[in-house]
Amino acid sequence: MPLNFNKVEFIRSAVRREDFLWDGLPQMAFAGRSNVGKSSVINRLVNRKNFARVGASPGKTSQINYFRLDGRAYLVDLPGYGYAKVSKAERDRWGRLMESYFASGLITLGIMIVDARHKPTADDVTMANWFFDTGCPVVVAANKLDKLKKSEIGPNMQAIRDTLALREEDRLVPFSAERGDGSEELMGLLRYSLEEHRT
Ligand code: GDP
């Protein structure tokens, strides 16, 4: 049976290593700069309007939200980065939590959300390298594609590939959470990664 994206439930928010889930189900981790549309991408995938906000209240930028997908994998919503108005204490908390999650060995697939309109930031590059260091496959979704002219798509995708130093095997999916572009392709890659994980 293919992975059913409509069967999704919020499990918990993790703020420390002890809160991570260690039950062996694959963990597909979503990362991105604040406001890049990470929640919108997740909501698009699971076909809901306000799903990825569950458990996240304003100011709680340093928590990892776990959703279980079809009882077969976790969709892991990592806290966004690069938000200017965050205190140093909060940034430090973010760093400690992310470091321990990336060191946990739990990630089976990394999904990075970047903005299709812009060259990835230094923070995006750092995040991509964290994913590469885990050794897991990485998929990049270039969101807000609807804001681009047709002629801009090719050059922008190349700039994203070059700046993040994507390897040949890393997939880059032009995406629009608003319009739905790339959604089938991204779902296909998530399903595929699950099959690979099992074999
Ligand atoms: P997050 O902070 O990364 O979770 O970002 P959100 O999902 O909250 O989205 C941030 C803003 O970007 C919101 O105003 C969304 O409506 C908008 N947004 C998200 N995805 C898209 C998209 O594909 N196209 C456009 N035009 N706007 C988007």
What is the pLDDT at residue 199? 61
| Residue 80 Cβ contacting ligand 1 at under 6 Å | yes
CA 92–ligand 1 middle distance (angstroms): 25
More confident residue, 50 or 176: 176
Q: Which residue has the higher pLDDT, 149 or 49?
A: 149
At 31, phi and psi to the nearest 5?
Answer: -130, 155
Residue 60's pLDDT is what? 58
pLDDT grade for 85, boundaries at 50, 70 and 90: confident
- CB of 37 closer than 6 angstroms to any ligand 1 atom: yes
The average pLDDT across 10-21 equals 95
Overall pTM surpassing 0.85 (yes/no): yes
For residue 39, how far is its CA from the centre of ligand 1 (angstroms)? 7
pLDDT digits (tens, 9 = 90+) for 124-177: 999 999 999 999 999 999 999 999 999 999 999 999 999 999 999 999 999 999
Is residue 37 predicted with pLDDT exceeding 90? Answer: yes
* Secondary structure of residue 146 in the 3-state scheme: helix
Atom in ligand 1 nearest the alpha carbon of residue 35: 2
Contact 88, 116 (CB under 8 A): no
Ligand 1 close to Cβ of residue 174 (< 6 A): no
Angle between helices 38-45 and 183-198 (to 10 degrees): 80
Residue 114 confidence class, pLDDT cut points 50, 70, 90: very high
- Mean pLDDT of the 178-191 span: 97
Q: How many A from CA of 197 to the centre of ligand 1?
A: 30
Is residue 57 predicted with pLDDT exceeding 80? no
- From 30, 35, 64, 81, the mutation candidate for ligand 1 (largest count of ligand atoms within 8 A of CB) is 35
pLDDT at 21: 98
Query: Looking at ligand 1, which atom is closest to the CA of residue 33?
Result: 3
- In terms of Cα–Cα distance, which of 84, 93, 44, 105 is closest to 64? 93
pLDDT at residue number 55: 43
Residue 50: what pLDDT?
80
Distance CA 198, CA 161 (A): 29
Residue pair 156/148 in contact by the 8 Å Cβ criterion: yes
Q: Which residues contact 29 (CB under 8 A, 6 or more apart)?
A: 76, 78, 101, 107, 109, 110, 111, 131
Q: How many CB atoms lie within 10 A of CB 168?
A: 5
Neighbour tally for 83: CB within 10 Å = 14
Share of the chain above pLDDT 70, in %: 95
22 Cα: distance to centroid of ligand 1 (angstroms): 31
The finding on whether 44 has its CB within 6 A of some atom of ligand 1 is: no
Distance 181 CA to ligand 1 centre (A): 14
